Structure 1
Amino acid sequence: MIVTQDLEVRVGARTLLEAPGQQLRVQPGDRIGLIGRNGAGKTTSMRILAGETEPYGGKVTSSGPIGYLPQDSREGNIEQTARERVLSARGLDEIKRSMAKTQHIMETTEDDKKRDKAIMKYSRLEERYQALGGYEADAECAQICDNLGLPVRVLDQKLGTLSGGQRRRVELAQILFAATSGSGKSETILLLDEPTNHLDADSITWLRGFLSKHEGGLVMISHDVELLEAVCNKIWFLDAVRGEADVYNMGYKKYLDARATDEARRRRERANAEKKASALHKQAAKLGAKATKAAAAKQMLARADRMMNELDEVRVSDRVASIKFPEPAACGKTPMFAKGLTKMYGSLEVFAGVDLAIDKGSRVVVLGTNGAGKTTLLKLLAGVERTDGEGGIVSGHGLRIGYFAQEHDNIDPDKSVWQNTIDACPDAGQQDLRGLLGAFMFSGDKLEQPAGTLSGGEKTRLSLATLVSSRANVLLLDEPTNNLDPQSREQVLDALTTYTGAVVLVTHDPGAVKALEPERVIIMPDGDEDLWSDEYMEIVELA
């Protein structure tokens, strides 16, 4: 169970959330959708619930195991294999290593005392291993991983050789493995921040079923409406306007109706109160003209003020970032060539000998299974990583690249929003940058906020803001709609539709592909090129 007491969440001087008493609590059987616009405090609140950071005010108490999946998950020793990382959730990886070492001693020592001691130790380890379901664990681990799009061959690769999407799915597999013995029943409270990022359609369907059966308690941040509808039996809505949490003990669809009813009631009550207050003000003005009636007039004004102050605040429409990709700088017919691109991780070949040419204004989608090298290809094109072997990138006349990194690697978490923007756009004037950041909903104290404390959606907006000032004529976009609320996502899709430069896009979002209206497709890891057809749309979500 997790219980908050007079919780107050702040970032800098800005209050994100006040939840008096024990308003927010997570109990077995609760499957809670934590929703709100980007920047409302969802990720910060989740970190507090997980014990990763302290609240500004109040306290959080918890009992029982917690499985926390942060939005930007980069846990684990990169020398571990994926299988070891998942098994570590129950400590099985350490026990297995100890058993192997002890068995080696048993088989090789000539000292009878050492052998007897090793036999006794092995017996204790094996008993512990069996109690934790160790002999079934490999199969269970492989099954969970397969359901999350991690085939068996990936499980024995080191974490350092995996793509960002694969690493995140390993972290999710580890948490789910810890939370269940295969039945889906558990005492573990799951705190999941955007768990469907990097998952294909089949994996999302499986996860939806898994979470629907989870009985240990769940708090989930997601912009996936179908997932919220299928899984959640409660909703916490963080209202960025009021700095409050509204708790709805109902599923997502009923919550939408209830919230609409609440907002309509607030508007109706305010309209009635404003009408009455206006009448009181007029009457007070008449009475105030007479000295003998001044006290009565003052009482009427106080009554009108009290009437307005006691009202629930009417929710105003959320601001939406004004996202528009840059007017591209002039360039030649083919601003970018790539020849023989190859990427190896140790002896593991991700892809080899990939050739492509990005023509002026061309629109290209990169497809391939998870781990096929889509993100790595964009990193090579952006110059963030170097190709292995003799291949490379040839810059055509006037090439200017704008790169959007899926993991927000281009953002320094220790620097402020403002300093990150200045570093990314050194040639731009400060006034222009302030106007740009304002259009992306960064202003005031928000400019001095450390970028590492931003939500995933806010990091996405900050990364997009730096692209806008770049005048790039080749945009390399790696999952640009991840973590965005619906309104911001629509802004990105509109920007894709109107941008006239070249785009190379990696995405699981069919809406982003439709907005791009691609001409070509690159299929990884072979780098095969084909003209776009609607048949490829069927595999976008599976790629």
Structure 2
Amino acid sequence: MIVTKDLEVRAGARTLLDAPGEQLRVQPGDRIGLVGRNGAGKTTTMRILAGEGEPYGGEVIRAGDIGYLPQDPREGDVTVSARDRVLSARGLDTIRHSMERQQEIMETAGAPAKRDAAIRKYSRLEERYHDLGGYEADSEAARICDALGLPERILDQPLGTLSGGQRRRVELARILFAASGGAGKSATTLLLDEPTNHLDADSITWLRGFLRGHEGGLVMISHDVDLLAAVCNKVWFLDAVRGEADVYNMGWRKYLDARATDEARRRRERANAEKKATALRRQADKLGAKATKARAAKQMVARAERMLDELDEETVADKVAHISFPTPAPCGKTPLNARGLTKMYGSLEVFAGVDLAIDRGSRVVVLGFNGAGKTTLLKLLAGVERTDGEGGVVSGHGLKIGYFAQEHDTIDPAKSVWQNTVDACPEVDEQELRGLLGAFMFSGAQLEQPAGTLSGGEKTRLALAALVSSRANVLLLDEPTNNLDPVSREQVLDALRTYTGAVVLVTHDPGAVRALEPERVIVLPDGTEDLWSEDYMEIVELA
């Protein structure tokens, strides 16, 4: 259970949330959708609920186990296997390794006393392992992993050999494995920030069923409205204009109706109040012309102002970022050419011998199952990583690459929004940069905010802003619509439709593929190149 008391959340000088009393509570059986526009404070609030951040004011009281999935999870030791990472949620990995060590001693020890000590220790460890459901846990963990698109073949691979999407799914599997408690249900409070990122359609369906059956509390940030509608029985709406949270004790569909009704009520009340206030001011103007009526006139003006101040502030139209892509610089016919690209992780081959020629203005989609190397291919093309074979990337005449990383690797979390932009666009003057950031909804004190404290949607906008001034003529886009609210996503799709440079796109979003209108497709890990056809659209959601 989680209870907040007089919670106040700020980002710099900006108040994101003011929730007096015990307005925000998470109890067993609550399945809460935490919603609001990008930048409203959803991710910051979630981090505070999880104990990963401190509120500006008030306190958060937690009881029981909490499973927190941040938007950008940072797992620890990347040399451990995916299986051990999941099992570590119940401490079973450590016990299992200790059992294996004692078994090795039993088999190799020459001295009887040493062998007997190992047998006694192994027996104690085995009893503990059994009590924690260890023998059933491995198959249970594998079942959860498989449901999330992590097949058995990769569970014994080190985390460092997995793609970013696979590592994020390992972290989700770890949290759900801990919450299942060996019986499929528990009182763990789950705090999940965009849990469907990197999941295919089948995995999302499975997750929906798991969350609906979860007996503990749940707070979930998601732009997947179908998931919210299927799972949530409560909604917290963070109002970016008022800096307040509206609590709706109802499901998603009823919430949409209730919020529409609430906004219509506020508009009517404000219109009526403004009409009455205008009448009072006119009367005050008439009375004010007479010295004997000046006091009455002031009282009328004060009453008019008080009438407006006491109203709930009407939610004004949300500001929208003017997202666009750069005007591409001139370049030759084939600005980017790659031959024989190969990537290995130890003895594991991700892909080998991939050839790719990006002509001026061409539009290419990269497809493949999770872990096939889609993100790795973009990193090789961007020069972030090097090929392991003899091949390489050849820059054509006038090449300017713009790279958008799905894990926001191009953003330095320790630097401010402003400094990140200056570093990305060193040749652009200050006035132009401020105008650019303003178009992407960054201004005032937010320019000095550390980039690491931004929400996922804000990081996406910041990374996209850096692309605009680059004059890139080849864009390498890795999941550019992740973490975006519906309005911002549509802005990105419009930018894709109108961009005249070349694009190499990795995405699970069918809308992004349709907006791009691709000419060609590269299918990994084989590196097969083909002309685009609608037959490939089915792979987009499954990949």
CA distance in 2, matches of 1:87, 1:17: 37
Q: Structure 1-normalised TM-score?
A: 0.99
The question of whether the paired residues in 1 share the 8 Å contact of 2:3 and 2:26 is answered with yes
Would you say 1:211 and 2:211 are equivalent positions? yes
Equivalences for residues 31-430 of structure 1 within 5 A: 31-181=31-181, 183-430=183-430
Cα deviations across residues 237-258 of structure 1 (Å, max 9, x unaligned)? 0000000000000111110100
Amino acid at match of 2:510: P
CA distance in 1, matches of 2:257, 2:111: 75
CA distance in 2, matches of 1:144, 1:329: 48
**1:432 Cα deviation after fit:** 0.6
**1:128 Cα deviation after fit:** 1.0
Amino acid at match of 1:355: D
Amino acid at match of 1:496: L
For 2:542, what is the secondary structure of its paired residue? coil
**1:183 Cα deviation after fit:** 4.4
Cα deviations across residues 359-408 of structure 1 (Å, max 9, x unaligned)? 11110000000000000000000000000021000111111111000100
Amino acid at match of 1:51: G
Amino acid at match of 1:431: Q
Cα deviations across residues 404-452 of structure 1 (Å, max 9, x unaligned)? 0010000000111111001000111111111100000001111111111
**1:294 Cα deviation after fit:** 2.4
The question of whether the paired residues in 1 share the 8 Å contact of 2:400 and 2:471 is answered with yes
CA distance in 2, matches of 1:222, 1:441: 21
For 2:351, what is the secondary structure of its paired residue? strand
The question of whether the paired residues in 2 share the 8 Å contact of 1:76 and 1:85 is answered with no
Amino acid at match of 2:394: V
The question of whether the paired residues in 2 share the 8 Å contact of 1:336 and 1:395 is answered with yes
The question of whether the paired residues in 2 share the 8 Å contact of 1:73 and 1:171 is answered with yes
Amino acid at match of 1:466: A
CA distance in 1, matches of 2:259, 2:106: 66
- Structure 1, unmatched stretches of 5+, are none
> Kindly, what percent of the aligned residue pairs are identical?
82
Match of 1:20 in 2: 20
For 2:475, what is the secondary structure of its paired residue? strand
Amino acid at match of 1:358: I
**1:37 Cα deviation after fit:** 0.6
CA distance in 2, matches of 1:333, 1:291: 81
The question of whether the paired residues in 1 share the 8 Å contact of 2:137 and 2:182 is answered with no
For 1:426, what is the secondary structure of its paired residue? coil
CA distance in 1, matches of 2:289, 2:174: 75
Amino acid at match of 2:335: P
For 1:238, what is the secondary structure of its paired residue? strand
Amino acid at match of 2:82: A
**1:138 Cα deviation after fit:** 1.0
Q: Structure 2-normalised TM-score?
A: 0.99
**1:279 Cα deviation after fit:** 1.2
The question of whether the paired residues in 2 share the 8 Å contact of 1:184 and 1:215 is answered with no
For 2:352, what is the secondary structure of its paired residue? strand
- Structure 2, unmatched stretches of 5+, are none
Range 476-485 or range 176-185, more displaced: 176-185
The question of whether the paired residues in 1 share the 8 Å contact of 2:189 and 2:218 is answered with yes
For 1:537, what is the secondary structure of its paired residue? helix
CA distance in 1, matches of 2:108, 2:38: 60
CA distance in 2, matches of 1:500, 1:53: 42
The aligned length equals 543
CA distance in 2, matches of 1:101, 1:354: 43
The question of whether the paired residues in 1 share the 8 Å contact of 2:75 and 2:171 is answered with yes
Match of 1:8 in 2: 8
For 1:268, what is the secondary structure of its paired residue? helix
The question of whether the paired residues in 2 share the 8 Å contact of 1:74 and 1:167 is answered with no
CA distance in 2, matches of 1:378, 1:108: 48
Would you say 1:508 and 2:508 are equivalent positions? yes
Cα deviations across residues 449-483 of structure 1 (Å, max 9, x unaligned)? 11111100000000000111111111000000000
CA distance in 2, matches of 1:371, 1:76: 20
CA distance in 2, matches of 1:222, 1:207: 13
Cα deviations across residues 480-527 of structure 1 (Å, max 9, x unaligned)? 000001000000000000001110000000000000000000000010
**1:185 Cα deviation after fit:** 1.4
Alpha carbon RMSD of aligned pairs, Å? 0.9
CA distance in 1, matches of 2:300, 2:358: 72
